[in-house]
A = this chain, B = another copy of it.
Amino acid sequence: MVKILIGYASDYGTTKKMAQAAAEGVTSVKGCQALLKNVEDICSEDMTSSAGIMLGSPVHMGSMDWRVKKMIDTVCAELWMNDMMNGKVAAVFACGGGFGGSGGGAELAMLAMLSNFAELGMLLLPLPKKINYYQHGGLHWGPCGRSGDANMKNVGVSSAVIHLTKQHAIHLAKTALVLANSDIFQN
């Protein structure tokens, strides 16, 4: 079995709901199992035993949630130092209030998470525009939920975004299966 780690932080449950959809997506792929964890509970072994990682964060002040970054600094940095994750595959998603209707800072938030995975030597999985429902929550870096409306009222995450996130996780699982046992970075 190929294991995929789904990590998330969540304030009001929307990012968590996206993470749960991702776990369902992984489980639906034959030969893959999901490990769904709040970032505060992720340890090194969760990372090293997984063939792929999907990380989701609330968007706060134009970048990722501090709890996600704490996990990166305290868990991933050592894996980077010891070259433990090279050649695995990574994907990200985000959820924010989206005030302004222009992404609300989701792009830099997702890039900061992808930066960590690039440092770890992991292939980065994009979200192609042809995926169903892309028009209702897609960004090329990954699915983007929007939990707030134009009055900053929390309206939860749409079913379209849930679908997109599940699909993104299916792609991640499939990619991990394809890459398994390949040894791209020999030196």
Question: A12-20, A43-51, A68-76: which one contacts chain B?
Answer: A68-76
Q: How many residues of A contact B (CB 8 A)?
A: 73
Q: Could you mark each residue 66-99 of chain A with 1 if its beta carbon is under 8 Å from any beta carbon of chain B, else 0?
A: 1101101110110010010011010000000011
Set of chain B residues within 8 Å of A185, measured between Cβ atoms: 128, 130-131, 171
Q: Verify if A156 is at the interface (C-beta below 8 Å from B).
A: no
Cα A82 to Cα B107 with chains together (Å): 23
Smallest CB gap from A71: residue in B = B66
Cβ A125 vs Cβ B126 within 8 A = no
Contact A121 B116 (CB under 8 A): no
- Measured between beta carbons, the chain B residues less than 8 angstroms from A61 are 72-73, 76-77, 80, 115-116, 119-120
**Distance A107 CA – B137 CA, assembled complex (angstroms):** 16
A129-187 residues with Cβ-Cβ distance < 8 A to B are 129-132, 134-141, 144, 146, 150-151, 167, 171, 174-175, 178-179, 182, 184-185, 187
Does A100 sit within 8 A of B, measured CB to CB? Answer: yes
- Chain B residues closer than 8 Å to A121, beta-carbon distance: 126-130, 140
Q: A98-B102, A119-B140, A175-B182 are in contact. List 15 more A-B contacts (CB 8 A).
A: A61-B72, A62-B140, A70-B70, A83-B128, A86-B130, A99-B135, A99-B138, A100-B129, A102-B138, A104-B139, A105-B140, A121-B127, A121-B140, A174-B184, A178-B178
Contact sample, A vs B, 6 pairs, CB 8 Å cutoff: A61-B72, A62-B118, A66-B69, A86-B128, A89-B123, A103-B103
Interface residues of A (CB under 8 A from B): 60-67, 69-70, 72-74, 76-77, 80, 83, 86-87, 89, 98-108, 111-112, 115-132, 134-141, 144, 146, 150-151, 167, 171, 174-175, 178-179, 182, 184-185, 187
